[in-house]
Amino acid sequence: MSTTRIAEAVSRLRCISCGTTPDSAAQDFRCAACGDLLEFFFPGWVFDPPDPAALKALWLSRRTSRDRLDQSGVWRFRELLPHISEEHAITLREGNTPLYSLPRCAQAAGVENLHAKHQGMNPTASFKDTGMTFAASSAHHAGFRWVACASTGNTSASMAAYAARGNMRSLVLIPEGKISWGKLSQSLDYGALTCQLRTDFDGCVSILNELVRQKPVYLLNSVNPYRIEGQKTAAIELMEQLAWQPPDHIIVPGGNLGNSSAIGKALLEMRELKLISRLPKLSIIQAQGANPFYRSVREFGGKKLEPMTADTQATAIRIGNPASWKKAWRVLEATGGEVEEVSEVEIAAAKAEIGADGIGCEPASAVTLAGLKKLRQRGFVKRDEAAILILTGHLLKDPDFTIKFHRGDLFAGTPHQDEAAQVKHLQRAPVELDANLGAVIAVLEAAERNS
């Protein structure tokens, strides 16, 4: 590990509702006094904050290091994380994800300055790896043999990989028939014990919560505050990529709401430590069929959340009872962000547009562009403001969705059929031809005439 004169941060746990500060967390990571979620805080930062210029220089210097922790885009920022000793660190060199410009998407959304931070470029192809490296390491540190999660597919893929690297067994609970093959195949290959339960994601969560109370199994869902700490680093890395000049807007998809909470927490901490001088507005986008947080904010001012039965083809965010909604509301309020909901067709169109910029993502990630268009139309995002989309998963996570969209099958026979006719121009179905040069040239010339 590289040497540093910056003192290690001392962290404590605190309940987000009643403020209790327990010395350790129970197996379900709920506050023993009131049952709400826990979070880490760093008491030393109030009177003895680390020097922001020294932190920036240290993190930059680690980019040329051969040390495995320095090479991780999560552990590189360890001064802002709770302490886990190096011998327990399980890393796949996660983080270090690219920031891409999106010129065509910018035009479609009516903004001048649009970029995507592509968290799908992580080792298991989703943003989950940044939280998982840290939380799986905490499980290793605590000596667990089994780790477990309920998942819509990405958490489970990530957990299975990190458990395997750390010589731990992993138990995956996923909703039967409602996760993509790409994600399922990952957890099988990484050696997880994979249970497809005849319920939805929320049903899987309930069973897992009971299980961890009865068995020595370490919970790796995002109620685990170590997950949030690891996921924070995406925002730190983003600010470093932007030379510590915050954008006006950051836009994230909302499912269980761990990611928005983590990014928001990082923004607030970076401002507290004077790493950045102002806060970007953090906005959260949900699918219309899985919009409990959108409704919570719109109908109840974020004070209450009514669980719902969720349904969307963006299966990663098919979640009706998000665990971290209070944390997400707090960061939305603190940063002045907004919520939006987008339709199934809007998601599919935005996904094809992100693909057409040569980037690509999975459906749940594309809600960000669809949401940006709405926020722009409402005037919340201005034409000349800088916006960053957080793309959470790789295009290849869900090829079925993509192929169905381009073949025109995604909405056939659904209530969205008529709306889908309006985005037909984005479809690029494969052309089946005889093995004949003349036929290929004819198609090429027709394509050129139409472009």
Least gap, CB of 187 to ligand F0G (angstroms): 11
Least gap, CB of 127 to ligand F0G (angstroms): 7
Of 313, 339, 285, the closest CA to residue 420 belongs to 313
Choice between 50 and 302, CB closer to ligand F0G: 302
Choice between 59 and 190, CB closer to ligand F0G: 190
Choice between 91 and 130, CB closer to ligand F0G: 130
Least gap, CB of 307 to ligand F0G (angstroms): 15
Least gap, CB of 154 to ligand F0G (angstroms): 3
Choice between 137 and 187, CB closer to ligand F0G: 187
β pairing state of 113-118 and 146-150:
unpaired
Q: Which residues would be at the binding site for ligand F0G (CB under 6 A)?
A: 126, 128, 151-155, 222, 253-260, 316-317, 362, 364-365, 392-393
Choice between 70 and 200, CB closer to ligand F0G: 200
Choice between 91 and 187, CB closer to ligand F0G: 187
Choice between 321 and 392, CB closer to ligand F0G: 392
Least gap, CB of 184 to ligand F0G (angstroms): 12
Rounded to whole angstroms, the Cα distance separating 410 from 366 reads 16
Rounded to 5 degrees, φ, ψ at 323 are: -65, -40
Least gap, CB of 215 to ligand F0G (angstroms): 20
Tokens matching residue 431: 């052309």
Least gap, CB of 158 to ligand F0G (angstroms): 8
Rounded to whole angstroms, the Cα distance separating 158 from 71 reads 18
Tokens matching residue 427: 């479809």
Tokens matching residue 450: 């139409």
Buried b (16+ CB within 10 A) or exposed e, 398-431: beebbebbbeeebbeeeebeebbeebeebeeeee
Least gap, CB of 19 to ligand F0G (angstroms): 24
Least gap, CB of 99 to ligand F0G (angstroms): 18
Beta strands in 299-404 (DSSP E): 339-342, 386-391
Q: How far is CA 173 from CA 64, 184, 207, 209, 252, in A?
A: 39, 11, 9, 11, 25
β pairing state of 281-287 and 339-342:
parallel
Query: To which residue do tokens 């509702």 refer?
Result: 17
Compute the C-alpha angle 186/308/348, nearest 5°: 55
Choice between 55 and 314, CB closer to ligand F0G: 314
DSSP 7: P
Q: Using CA of residue 242, residue 244, residue 249, residue 252, what is the dihedral sign?
A: positive
Choice between 91 and 154, CB closer to ligand F0G: 154
Q: In this chain, which residue has its C-beta nearest to ligand F0G? A: 255
Rounded to whole angstroms, the Cα distance separating 37 from 34 reads 9
Rounded to whole angstroms, the Cα distance separating 131 from 230 reads 4
DSSP 257: S
